[in-house]
């Protein structure tokens, strides 16, 4: 192996690649500033507990090392959102706060075969509002970001993880079993779900089976209300989707719905969203609501936001 070779999944930008990336970075930061989102630059390394929160997905992807000065375990950030939660808690504000960032992150393993282990994560987050219009605001900003990158057309997909969570609260199963079930939903694998349900005695077998198949236009929301009519938490989650769909329609934004979508990080608590384009095999950008994420830092606040890999999207022409 030559001394110039980089580790697997670690890449760099040079010459025209770097210039294109830097141009887009500056345009995005101008866009976010115009929308009132203040720039933050979190440190590359923090105490590991501050980075992981309660997310097994983040834990698995976080490089950990022992600090020779303090003797404490540190982590290299694999996701920026936990750091924004800490920053917001430290600010100790009761007002709506808006943050944006474009930071390199590092992962022990890529999200999929095509992804880098060293993406540059761009995103924006809004803290202090539990209103649907806050979710609409960040969704609009996500779509504007992709438009600035000259990616079109965009298919916007919406879901609400509170529906899945409402079913889970009805079950007496272990955390490990829940993680296994979440992974099946993340893969949208109906065969794996059938095997899982056959091997685990759940109260809501039929509802899990129906949930993983609920995708399509806004008409499936009426169907979902009927299916989950006796679960108040699920009904509220579906009603939130109906409200956000109306608000987005009023702005000329159309969405599809995939009610099995849970997102990769377990900290999401409500509405989640993803942006797709026919030329890409995976979501270009993702986000959602994660109320209470700052609880471990002493400040539990409503929050919503999105992120994407700017390095990946900036290089599509090369």
pLDDT digits (tens, 9 = 90+) for 100-151: 999 999 999 887 756 789 999 999 999 999 999 999 999 999 999 999 999 9
pLDDT digits (tens, 9 = 90+) for 62-111: 999 999 999 999 999 999 999 999 999 999 999 999 999 999 999 998 87
Cα–Cα separations (whole angstroms), residue 63 to 117, 190, 214, 221: 11, 33, 37, 41
Sheet holding 38-39, edge to edge: 38-39, 97-104, 120-127, 303-309, 285-289, 271-276, 155-160, 255-258, 215-216
Query: In this predicted structure, what is the pLDDT of residue 225?
Result: 95
Query: In this predicted structure, what is the pLDDT of residue 145?
Result: 98
Q: How confident is the model at residue 285 (pLDDT cuts 50, 70, 90)?
A: very high
Q: Assess whether pLDDT exceeds 90 at residue 262.
A: no
What's the predicted TM-score (pTM) here? 0.94
Mean pLDDT calculated for residue range 180-206: 91
Mean pLDDT calculated for residue range 271-289: 94
Q: Which of 279, 278, 274, 280 is nearest to 258 (CA)?
A: 274
Query: In this predicted structure, what is the pLDDT of residue 286?
Result: 95
User: How far, in Å, CA of 80 to CA of 233, rounded?
Assistant: 29
Cα–Cα separations (whole angstroms), residue 226 to 20, 49, 162, 232: 49, 41, 16, 12
Q: How confident is the model at residue 17 (pLDDT cuts 50, 70, 90)?
A: very high
User: How far, in Å, CA of 261 to CA of 238, rounded?
Assistant: 13
Residue 191: partners with Cβ closer than 8 Å, 6 or more residues away: none
The alpha helices in 111-189, defined as continuous H runs, are 132-148, 161-168, 175-187
Q: How confident is the model at residue 194 (pLDDT cuts 50, 70, 90)?
A: very high
How much is the mean pLDDT over the chain? 93
User: How far, in Å, CA of 86 to CA of 77, rounded?
Assistant: 13
Q: Assess whether pLDDT exceeds 80 at residue 44.
A: yes
Q: Which of 34, 122, 94, 67 is nearest to 294 (CA)?
A: 94
Query: In this predicted structure, what is the pLDDT of residue 113?
Result: 59
Query: In this predicted structure, what is the pLDDT of residue 55?
Result: 76
Q: Which is it for strands 38-39 and 120-127: parallel, antiparallel or unpaired?
A: unpaired
Q: Which residue has the tokens 């929160």?
A: 53
Cα R_g (the chain), whole angstroms:
20
Q: How confident is the model at residue 264 (pLDDT cuts 50, 70, 90)?
A: low
């Amino acid at each position: 192996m030559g001394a110039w070779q980089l580790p697997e999944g670690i890449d760099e930008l040079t010459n025209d690649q770097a210039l294109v990336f830097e141009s887009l970075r500056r345009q995005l930061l101008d866009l976010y500033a115009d929308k009132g989102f203040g720039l933050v630059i979190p440190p590359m390394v923090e105490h590991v507990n501050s980075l992981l929160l309660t997310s097994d997905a983040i834990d698995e992807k976080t490089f950990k090392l022992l600090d020779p000065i303090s003797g404490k375990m540190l982590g290299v950030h694999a996701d920026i959102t936990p750091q924004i939660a800490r920053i917001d808690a430290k600010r100790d504000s009761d007002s709506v706060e808006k943050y944006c960032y474009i930071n390199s992150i590092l992962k022990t393993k890529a999200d999929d075969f095509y992804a880098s282990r060293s993406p540059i994560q761009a995103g924006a987050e809004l803290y202090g509002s539990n209103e649907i219009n806050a979710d609409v605001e960040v969704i609009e900003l996500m779509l504007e970001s992709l438009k600035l990158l000259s990616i079109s057309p965009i298919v916007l997909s919406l879901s609400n993880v509170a529906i899945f969570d409402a079913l889970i609260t009805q079950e007496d199963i272990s955390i490990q079993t829940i993680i296994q079930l979440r992974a099946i939903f993340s893969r949208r694998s109906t065969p794996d779900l059938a095997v899982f349900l056959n091997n685990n005695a759940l109260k809501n077998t039929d509802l899990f089976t129906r949930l993983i198949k609920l995708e399509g236009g806004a008409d499936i929301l009426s169907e979902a209300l009927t299916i989950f009519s006796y679960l108040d938490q699920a009904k509220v989650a579906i009603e939130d989707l109906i409200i956000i769909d109306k608000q987005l329609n009023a702005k000329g934004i159309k969405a599809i719905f995939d009610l099995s979508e849970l997102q990769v990080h377990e900290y999401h608590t409500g509405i989640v969203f993803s942006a797709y384009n026919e030329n890409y095999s995976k979501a270009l950008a993702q986000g959602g609501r994660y109320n209470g994420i700052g609880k471990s830092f002493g400040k539990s606040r409503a929050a919503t936001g999105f992120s994407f890999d700017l390095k990946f999207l900036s290089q599509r022409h090369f």
